[in-house]
Amino acid sequence: MATRLSRFAELGITMEGQDVLDDIATDMASRSGFLYAMVNAFGRVQTFLGLHNPPQESGYPIVGRTMSRAHGFCPEVIQRQRGLPLPNVAASPRFQSNEVVDAIGIQSYFGSPIIDEVTGLALVTSCLIDPEPRTLRDATRIQGIVRDGVRAVVDVLKIPTPPPAS
C-alpha cells in the first residue's frame, strides 16, 4: 500500500474527483449505452476520480465517489492486471453476487487496468457497469470503449505505461 500511495503522490494524483475524468467517464457511458462509468483509483479505498451516474430522476441508485477496496469487480482487475469483460454477470458464478451487484443490480461489467510502468502496479481502472446484461457479440465493442477510456485517462494523469504487447 505504501508504494501505491507514494506513487500516486509522485504522479500528483489526488484522491478526488476531476471534471476532465468525469467527462471521460461520461463519454464512455454515452458511447456504450451504459448507465455508469468510472475512472477508479486504488488507494486506501476505491476513489472514482471520474464518475458518470444515471440522471438523479431516473430511479437508478446514484453512486458516490468512494467504495471499499473489497467491493465490486475492479479489485479483480487490479489483482490480475488484465481486462475483465463480464457481459452477463449472472452467467459467472464467481461474480454473480457481491456488494455492487446486490446494491445496484449490476448485470454487466467491463473494466481494464492502467498499469504503471515504473512500479508494475495497476493503479487505476477504467470501467463500465449497467443493470442490463449484454451479448457476447457486443462485448468486443464495449471493451474497445473501455480501452479508449484507458488511453484518455493515461493522457490526463500522465501515468507511464508499458508499451502494448505485439
pLDDT digits (tens, 9 = 90+) for 96-153: 778 788 888 899 999 999 999 999 999 999 999 999 999 999 999 999 999 999 999 9
Task: Extract the C-alpha cell encoding 1.
Answer: 500500500
Statement: residue 11 has pLDDT above 70: yes
Q: What is the mean pLDDT of the chain?
A: 94
What does the alpha-carbon distance between residue 147 and residue 23 come to, in Å, rounded to a whole number? 15
Confidence band of 12 (pLDDT split at 50, 70, 90):
very high
Name the pLDDT band for 163 (thresholds 50, 70, 90).
confident
HSE of 53 in the Cβ direction (CA atoms, 13 Å)? 14
Checking if the pLDDT of 84 tops 70, the result is: yes
pLDDT at position 10 is 97
pTM value > 0.85: yes
- Distance between CA 1 and CA 19 in Å, rounded? 26
CATH annotation of 2-157: 3.30.450.40
Confidence (pLDDT) at 81: 96
What's the longest Cα–Cα distance across the chain? 46
Closest CA to 88 of 138, 51, 39: 138
* Highest averaged pLDDT of the listed ranges 22-36, 58-72, 80-94: 22-36
Q: What is the pLDDT of residue 119?
A: 96
CB 123 within 8 A of CB 162: no
